[in-house]
Structure 1
Amino acid sequence: MKLDSKYFDSIRVSSRRSGSAKKETRAPGCQWKGCDKPGMHKAPKGRGRDGEYFNFCMDHVRQYNHDYNYFDGMSDAEVNNFRKDALTGHRPTWKAGANAWAHGTRDGVRTEEAAARVAASTARTTRRARSSRTEPSNFRRQLKPLERKALRTLDLGDEATREEIKTRFKELVKIHHPDANGGDSRSEEKLREILQAYNYLKQAGLA
């Protein structure tokens, strides 16, 4: 733009000083009693009034901050509880792996009915666990008629173990062997029955 342009005279540049003066006039006044300076600095109004501020000048905001105590009016116990809750953002917490319903709480309020349900469920589970450990087993071996007959031949019951069958077989062989009975035919016949019964139990996997 040329210096002799007709637009040159119409351009007006405001100085920084004039701008700052206008800013000062728009600022709210200091809210400190008896102070008429501009309140350019914000100070919190205190606990329970979050988001609300006073407007003070520099001198008075320093004085206000120096004497400010967020916990004013609270007991030591209340202060300790507040600091403890502040670690979790003042939200309710539970043990790992549990929730509000499991602990009988909802929205931070204890629910006695829910607590009773949890306690009853725990007691039932404990009783079932103890019962399964202490009650004797009622299991009975299912035998075929010929297996039961073979056990009776050896003078044994249905619950005879493998070792008991072998031991009884050896005892009966000694008792009914022909050499021990002077060649008695009845002993020979009994020995034959014992041998057949034992061999059958062995094939059935019981001896």
Structure 2
Amino acid sequence: MKLDSKYFDSIRVGSKRERAAPAREERHPRCQWKGCKGVGDHRAPRGRGQDGQYYLFCMEHVRQYNAEYNYFDGMNDAQVQDFQKDALTGHRPTWKVGVNAKAPGAAPAAEPSPAAASAAFRTLDPHAFFARRAKAAREQAPEGRRQLKPLEKKSFQTLNLPGEATKVEIKARFKELVKIYHPDTNGGDARSGDKLREIIQAYNYLKQAGHV
């Protein structure tokens, strides 16, 4: 093209500032809060069922969003409990340990009877240490007993322990129950596995509450 061409004057080269403007806007998207024109450089989770997806907010609105955020919004108590139960295994599918009770030709394993469980406890507690502790707790004056929350009381009952049990006693009883109800010792019985999960959940709750 000749320098004196009429088309030469119509060519306009933008400045570096103008060429860099779109890149800056792309690096700093606008806050997605309704009516906000700030920079949205803070991520906030969209909510349950949209894992891995995020809103982009400014600092002020991401703080407000997080203060009001509730992952369990819309779930009833039963659904929340199921979620917490599945969280023990990281929400991964689990399989029974040992023989598959549903396999063709496999004989169903019998659930340990209360008498057998009691006999096992006596074998593991030959000096009746836990039995004496339980009797002392029953005879202790009500005003001297530790006040327990409903879930704490239920967890102690699941472990067959009084509310005054010490950390050492809780750990010892937990190990005993795991040995009794582990599927490997019960031929992979499903009911034994369910009981074991209840025991693990009760122990974890007492641990979170500071009893262990």
Q: TM-score range by the shorter chain?
A: 0.3 to 0.5
TM-score (norm: length of structure 1):
0.38
TM-score (norm: length of structure 2):
0.37
Q: Name which structure has the greater RCO, CA cutoff 8 Å, separation 6+.
A: 2
> Which has the greater radius of gyration?
1
